[in-house]
Amino acid sequence: MKDPTAAVRLRQTQNADGGWGYFPGKQSWLEPTVYAAVALAGDPAADRAWTLLKSWQASDGGWRPSADVQVPSWGTSLCVSLAESRGEFGEPFQKGVAWLLTSAGSEGPLWQRFLFRTKLFGEPDRNLDLKGWPWKPDTASWVEPTAHALVALKHASAKLPSRKLRERVRIGEAQLLDVRCRDGGWNYGSHAALEVDLVAFPETTALALIGLQGHPDLGKSLDLASRMARETTSPLARGWLTIALRLNGADVPQSTAEIASSPETMIAALSIIAEDKVQFFRTGAAATT
């Protein structure tokens, strides 16, 4: 998995503003900048990245996804985790945590959730009372932003413990478990659509396992993740699955597939994180254990 040239390429492709684009030569975005900063932790390049990221935080504590995009972003979770990993627990960290605690998926209007609860029209595909986190405010909960928010809030729990935080983590974990597919993995948001089972994706399965790391009921999911790690041709999936398996104490199998090449910054960064920096995502046991 480890790409020996990845760190060199990351240093070479850092933008003048301190960030990274999703692809070399493109404008800086939060997500690749955070992962590159994690991959290069301890390097001055990572410090420049954090300086840029701090300038993207809005007054309400949420982070926008790039300099010019005025939309609050799920990437707030990544910045909170990055701040925690750097030992920076000042205002950006605290306001970021506060923003995450007020952010929740919008799962349909109240009357609709009430109707579902009556079960007059059958079982919904998922429990709409369980709220994870959305990609952006006023949209529904999805696996990936929920997993990253769980990691960020668990990181924050040592510095900013509160009943509200613990409860939010508990509900977030329950939401992820509720949308687990029949095959043990995770699709991107639900285990079924219109009463038809959905199949798991490798990336979202890995991310859910990172969000739920340490939970006692992950055996089937880890078996599936192991098989996915062996068979996937996606370097993004391979990276996330490697991180997920390691964090959950499972062996990472050799790949039997030819992994596709990729020009993406994130994939270069994840190849380093998966080998040397998985502690960035380590949170310890799940809230429900």
Partner 1 sequence: MTPNRREFLAVAGASVFAGYAGFAGASPPRRAPLGSASVSVIKAKSYSDDLVSRILEGVKQCGLDVRGQRVLLKPNLVEFDPKTCINTDVSVVAAALEAFRSLGAAEVIVGEGPGHRRDTYAIAEMTRYRTEIPKFDALFTDLNRDDVSPIQGFADRGQIYLPNTALRADLIVSLAKMKTHHWAGATLSMKNFFGVVPGSIYGWPKNELHQVGIDESIVELNRIFRRTFAIVDGVIGMEGNGPIQGTPKQVGVLVMGSDLPAVDATCCRIMGIDPSRVDYLRMASERSLGVIEEAHIEQRGETIKSVSAPFELIAKFKELRLA
Minimum distance of partner 1 from residue 172's CB (angstroms):
17
Please name the amino acid found at residue 160. Answer: L
Token representation of residue 212: 């739920």
Minimum distance of partner 1 from residue 269's CB (angstroms):
14
Q: Crossing angle of helices 143-156/91-102, nearest 10°?
A: 130
Segment interacting with partner 1, rule: CB under 8 A, options 39-47, 55-63, 186-194, 248-256 = 186-194
Count residues near partner 1 (CB under 8 A): 56
Does 8 sit near partner 1 (CB under 8 A)? no
As a whole number of angstroms, the distance between CA 180 and CA 59 comes to: 35
As a whole number of angstroms, the distance between CA 30 and CA 44 comes to: 18
Segment interacting with partner 1, rule: CB under 8 A, options 170-178, 222-230, 232-240, 274-282 = 232-240
Instruction: Specify whether the CB–CB gap between 23 and 52 falls below 8 A.
Output: no
Segment interacting with partner 1, rule: CB under 8 A, options 81-89, 158-166, 171-179, 198-206 = 198-206
Token representation of residue 258: 């030819």
As a whole number of angstroms, the distance between CA 14 and CA 154 comes to: 30
Minimum distance of partner 1 from residue 276's CB (angstroms):
22
Q: DSSP per residue over 197-233, as a string?
A: EPPPBHHHHHHHHHHTTT-SS-HHHHHHHHHHHHH--
As a whole number of angstroms, the distance between CA 225 and CA 223 comes to: 5
Does 134 sit near partner 1 (CB under 8 A)? yes
Does 235 sit near partner 1 (CB under 8 A)? yes
Residues that bind partner 1 (CB under 8 A): 21-23, 26-27, 29, 31, 65-66, 68-69, 71, 73-74, 106-109, 112, 115-116, 121-122, 124-125, 128, 134-136, 138-140, 142, 144-145, 188-189, 193-196, 199, 201, 203, 232-237, 260-264, 267
